[in-house]
A and B are shown apart, each in its own frame.
Chain A
């Protein structure tokens, strides 16, 4: 079966760094996506990895290890506006996105 696992909820402090992990098992693999979703809003694209390694984009970085079926999203210099759910999704062999349930990130002052 296809499965995406990520923690349900995490708490971090403003200004700190947080790492959100994601493990995936899908039929085939064509890349790993991270999306951000604020409460009551639509998901918005953050990052895409298809090769092993780290992709950096401002305060956000995403890492992929294909051999381990593992990815993480790293958020630096946390701001209150980063309070949101972070969704991990794997693009399978049919080029369909298989989604995790999301990690709700709570930022405290």
Chain B
């Protein structure tokens, strides 16, 4: 299994509070992704990174920011959490998205509840 960890694994917070989720990889892969997964929806891309300090928005980026100061760490921040951000968050990594032989590998997920 690819070496990807996420922390925390579970978090309950209140509306309006800031929240930071961490993704850590030991594979030295260039690309890192943050997705959210909700019932009835496919995985939806929030933000992704294609290198240190290089990030871009995904489909559902509003209300989220990211940072990548080291190859191995990709942080997702909810500046002011809302109930609509209650979800399961997955981090994924890949060497290159350009070829199918290099698939995305997923971390174990973080279950976030915003009350």
Answer yes or no: do A and B interact: yes
B44 on interface, CB distance cutoff 8 Å: yes
The 7 closest A-B pairs by CB, nearest first: A99-B42, A48-B100, A95-B97, A42-B106, A31-B100, A99-B43, A45-B103
Bound CA–CA A31/B96 (angstroms): 14
Bound CA–CA A91/B31 (angstroms): 15
Check A91–B100 contact: CB distance below 8 A.
yes
Chain B interface SS verdict (over half): loop
Chain B interface (Cβ < 8 Å from any Cβ of A):
40-45, 48, 58, 90, 97-98, 100-101, 103-109
Within 8 A of B (CB), among A70-108: 87, 89, 91, 95-102
Check A100–B100 contact: CB distance below 8 A.
no
User: Which of A43, A45, A49, A98 has a CB less than 8 Å from the CB of B90?
Assistant: A43
Total A residues in contact with B, Cβ cutoff 8 Å: 23
Within 8 A of B (CB), among A37-51: 41-45, 48-50
Check A96–B58 contact: CB distance below 8 A.
yes
Check B101–A48 contact: CB distance below 8 A.
yes
User: Which residues of chain B have C-beta atoms less than 8 A from A21's C-beta?
Assistant: none
Bound CA–CA A18/B43 (angstroms): 24
Check A99–B44 contact: CB distance below 8 A.
yes
Provide 14 A-B residue pairs closer than 8 Å at the C-beta atoms, listed in order of the A residue.
Answer: A33-B103, A42-B107, A44-B106, A45-B103, A45-B104, A45-B105, A48-B101, A50-B100, A87-B42, A91-B100, A96-B58, A96-B97, A97-B43, A97-B97
Check B104–A101 contact: CB distance below 8 A.
no
